[in-house]
Structure formats: structure tokens, C-alpha cells
Structure 1
């Protein structure tokens, strides 16, 4: 299965502003590359997991927090010899308190998704999540308001921590290839520009075939399919903001409208006008 098929595996559906999961399992399962239409926070509690996000492999420790932005292509690599426990929060990208999503934009800007805290901050956030979990399961008066309040508190702390960089950026916490990392960052910041293999090869002083091979080795997908998928995600985002379809295609780097329509339908299962 090639990358475009992986990337078309949008997983999960979120109607409410956020949803909390507390999962502990030891079921052997291989995860494919996938993305979400919403943001996701993973609070790792126990197990042996390496989390791959956009070319970086994060080697997790208990209480680590990962920010996975909407559209980020990712997958966990799990050692199922021990139980894997985590909190997961799905967060809609268009929540009313939109400033609470600032941390995801900052994660994208830095190309760094991990929050590793000191023990005091870890404990504060753990207690908030346990209270949120309890309130989400309760049927008592005002529990919906309590859930909203606890979620807001949690997100305020996450934003304060991440925006002020009050976390540990341990170089041993992740691995990546520096050349591929720079290439990924450039692609995501220049989706509307010429991103042909020849252009990228000249800019990054790679031979074409070495660059393509190395990119696939480090990320699991081809440069062409990665760029195509990211452009389609950008186009869909622009269309959702009422940008005309043709303009959205052009701003996302598509030079041929027919190719855009065909690729859009293949990835999302619908035409742009139906999105």
C-alpha cells in the first residue's frame, strides 16, 4: 500500500468540541499512517511507544504529552509486550475559544510536538485529566459545564507551557534526519510554490534519487504523494473558509484544475463543491 492510500485514511469523527479517551490495552495491532480533521493531544502514561509525526520519531516516557495538529500525518509504533496506557483528547479545530488551539500552530511552526514537564506540572495536569474523566462520565447537575471548565483549564496550561517553552527539549527524546527534517519544513511552508523533484534537489543539494530514497526511508512515503496530500488538505481547509474552489486549488499549488478535482475526489471521496 502506498502513502496516498495511507494518507486517505482519515480516522475518527468529532461532532462535539472535544472528546476524552482513557485507554489501556495490550492488543497487537499495526497502525498505518493516518491523519485527523481535528487536533489531538496524547498524554502517555505507560508502555513502550515511539510516536512518528511528520518525519520525527518521539521516544516516549511516562507523562509525556504530544500535540498532533489537524492534518499531521502520524502513527504510533507500539511494543505490545507491555500494556499501553494513555489519555487522548480530540479537539475540534474550530472550537469557540479558538485561542486554545494556539499551541498546535506553534508546534507546527517549531516542527516539534513533544511536551516533557517537571514532576509538579505533570501531577497538576494528571489531576485535571482525572477530574475531567470523572465529570465526563457523571450525570450530576452541571457536569457539562464542569467538563467545559476543566477542559479549558487543561488547555490553558498546555498553551502556557508550550508557548513559553517551559518544558524539556531533550535531544534524546526524538530522532530524525536533519536533511529530511529541513525538506519537510520547507515543503509545508511553501505548498503554493514549485515543489518539483528537480527544484527540491537543487535547493537542498541532493541528487534526485538519493533525496527520494532517503525521504521514503525516513518517513515511509514518497515525496510526490506527501506533497499531493498536504496540498489537498490545505485546499480543503481554504474551501471550508469559503475560498472559491479554483482559487483554493491555485493557492494550494495545483496548476491543473482537472488534476486537482481528480486527486481531491480520490483522497476525500467527494468533490470540492460537496465538501
Structure 2
């Protein structure tokens, strides 16, 4: 079974309504800036020297490692040796599509959303081969349009997500290498719980009884960004969720701590290239298009 690599693209949005799978193999790859998606991501590491930052935790990866990233987690990859090949599979999953593959008994989104979920799965050789085998078959199906081409990807994705969920909640046999800082973990938890309130370095320094200069340095070290930038991105993630739930755009900014609408409008446009109203219009049109397609099936 032949396998061709995808040309890397820095887009962070899905074209399809179900899933997209990429197989990348790059040399001299540059770091990706801190970002999030409106969908789930399964990242399967094959080769390279990289470190992955997710919500202030740093993961030093070994071949076969799997990362499960949900739609609210800020993350980025850091290349530690650009002269080595950086090889990986990246699977994007629409949240609603994954729910549609689930059943009343089996929730396939659990490995992304459960409070006890693991972010990094360090696999045994047996599981490594199993997961890579499924990903290879799924990647091959991207180019196929023969008999069963509409059913086999769904079957492969269901099998993949069942296995990942099983692995995510079984007892750790292989201990992954995670570099984290208890202070930064606590600061990020505080931020997530107080997004609608004023948050700044002085407030956090007082809350955690620490010098703001030390906090600033440690925060940048473990998250890869500044406190201000991190808070803005987190507020925007919350704002998008509220908009999609039907909350009025003109009141969302208050619930997310932006202070005034102009600041919210500017931050949203700078981050996503769309105004809040344009974003809502795009999402409503996409949903209407999917509904029309479903009625034709």
C-alpha cells in the first residue's frame, strides 16, 4: 500500500464536515505559533526531535506518542532539531461528526472532553502498530473512490476512536515525559475560571504570592507566549462558543472579560480574519449547507 505525504499547509480550519487526515514528513520545519481549533485533533508522532506545548505543559515526544487535543486547548509544536526529518500524522475530527459515530453506550468524544482524560498516550509497540495501521488505511482511503469508499472511512474512524478511548483510560504502563510547573498549572486554572473578570500580571502575582517578574518569565517559558496573549486567546475561544450557542454578539464580549465591544471586535478580527458577525454567518451557512446535503442523501 503506497503512501504519499501531504504538502504542509498552515491553515487551521477544516474544509470537510467530517474529518481530515494528513501525513507529513518535513525537513527544516519551522515552529508553529500557539493556536487552537474548533475541532478535535489526534496527533501521532513518527519521527523527529520535537517538543509539544499544550496549556502550559511541555511534552517531549518519542516515536509512537499520541496527543489528544480538544477544541479549547492552546497548543504549539517546537522543533528542537530542524535538521532531522519531522514525520507525523495529524487527524482533524469535527465534534458533531464524532458524536454521530458514538452511541448511547459508547461516547467517542470522551477521550477529548472527560475531566480525567490523558493528553499524551505513550503506546506499547503493539498499540503503536495498531494505530499506525489504521491511520495508513485511512490515509489510503482519501484517494480511493471504489466500492465501499463511503463506508470504510467511517468504520476505520470508529475503530480508531474506540482504541484511543480504551488507551486513554487504562492504567499507564509507560510513563510519558511531561515537563510542567505546578504554579503555571494553577495560574492557567485560575485564568480559565475567571475569564469574565479583569486578569493582569499584578493581580496574579498578588493571588499567588510571587513576583510578577518571576511569574512573567515562568509563564512565557511554559506556555510559549505572554500572559496577555494567552488570556486574549482564551477569551476568544469562549466567545466563539457563546456565539455558536446563540448568545447575542453584542453581549458576548462582557461575558468574556473584554471590557468593551471595540476591543473584542478588534481582537476577534486580528485572530481569525473575520468579524464576529462574519464568523457567525460563515458557521450558519456551513450548517445550512450540511443540512441541505443530508436531505439529498
State the TM-score, normalizing by the size of structure 1. Answer: 0.85
1:150 aligns with 2:156: yes
- d(CA) in 2 for partners of 1:81, 1:69: 30
CA distance in 2, matches of 1:14, 1:189: 32
Residue 86 of structure 1 and its aligned partner are, at CA, apart by 1.3
Contact 2:219 2:225 in 1 (8 A): yes
Q: Distance in 2 between matches of 1:188 and 1:111?
A: 17
Q: Which residue in 2 is equivalent to 1:87?
A: 89
How many pairs does the alignment contain? 263
Whether the 8 Å contact between 1:14 and 1:90 is mirrored in structure 2 is no
User: Which residue number corresponds to residue 292 of structure 2?
Assistant: none
Q: Which moves more between the two structures, 14-23 or 192-201?
A: 192-201
Cα 1:169–1:228 shift into 2, 3 Å: farther
Q: Which ranges of structure 1 fall in alignment gaps of 5 or more residues?
A: 1-8
Out of 188, 195, 199, which is 1:191 matched to? Answer: 195
- Residues 216, 227 of structure 2: 8 Å contact kept: yes
- Contact 2:17 2:97 (8 Å CA) reproduced: no
1:215/1:77 Cα in 2 relative to 1: closer, same or farther (>3 Å)?
same
* Matched residue SS, 2:262: helix
Q: 1:177 aligns with which of 173, 177, 181?
A: 181
Pairing 1:104-143 to 2, within 5 Å after superposition: 104-106=112-114, 109=115, 113-143=119-149
Check 1:186–1:64 CA distance in 2 against 1; reply closer, same or farther (3 A cut).
Answer: same
TM-score (norm 2): 0.79
Confirm or deny: 8 A CA contact 1:44 1:85 kept in the other structure: yes
Whether contact under 8 Å (2:53, 2:59) holds in the other structure is: yes
CA distance in structure 2 between the aligned counterparts of 1:96 and 1:242, rounded to whole angstroms: 22
Q: Distance in 2 between matches of 1:20 and 1:184?
A: 30
